[in-house]
Amino acid sequence: MLETVQGEGGLNAASGGFVRKIAGVARKHGALLIIDDIQAGCGRTGTFFSFEEMGVTPDIVTMAKSISGFGLPLALVLVRPEHDVFGPAEHNGTFRGNTHAFVTARVAIEKFWAAKSFETELAGKAALIEKRLTELAALVPGAFLKGRGLMRGVDVGSGDLAGKICARAYEKGLVIETSGSEDQVVKVLAPLTTPVETFEKGFDILLDAAREILDMTRIAAE
């Protein structure tokens, strides 16, 4: 079981070759290949499923979060038919039967994924995110980009620094989070429908916040 891009783990992105090797090990030993697309799926990496261009077919895919299309509680477990052994009422849980979420999820899938245009739009936004995060990385010695598609961030090497940058950004009107083993990654996980103008405004705030924190750090060091 794996995430192709570790969300809370610091945006570590698995290569297609790595995932194919894992799939081969699973087949060799008769294990199921389970891909956790709860955070990386629903277009977050640019395609609906995060593994679409990796040449693998998972046995089970888990999905949640964005799948409802409206922020409602909904989770899905997609199972290949030969592994579907659930009997009546066996697939149970607290959030089952959320009718409102069923409706919004269907509308979101039909509205955004019926044609290729949305995926093309996401590719443009992913390029913008990479460009602006490259600017952020250039401000911090040793910093580097992580993630894939619209699930991106910058490892600034320090949880303290990342936290200060995000806190300053919040004071300036931008909500942004950190991730990673030491919270050292400034993480962008914005709604996929965010307008380009809003992205640009948000990155302007983030870069301003980073410059201010880095200037304060330099002054304190002197």
Q: Which of 58, 90, 113 is the last residue of a domain?
A: 113
The predicted-structure confidence for 150-206, as pLDDT tens digits, reads as follows 999 999 999 999 999 999 999 999 999 999 999 999 999 999 999 999 999 999 999
Q: Which of 66, 93, 113 is the last residue of a domain?
A: 113
Domain CATH for 44: 3.40.640.10
- Do 92 and 124 share a domain, yes or no? no
Is 2 domain-assigned? no
- The domain tally of the chain equals 2
Q: What pTM does this model have?
A: 0.89
- Roughly what angle, to the nearest 10 degrees, separates helices 99-113 and 117-139? 90
On whether the CB atoms of residues 24 and 57 are closer than 8 A, the answer is no
Q: What single-letter DSSP state applies at residue 66?
A: G
On whether the CB atoms of residues 101 and 175 are closer than 8 A, the answer is no
Domain CATH for 172: 3.90.1150.10
Q: Domain range holding 67?
A: 16-113
Is 60 domain-assigned? yes
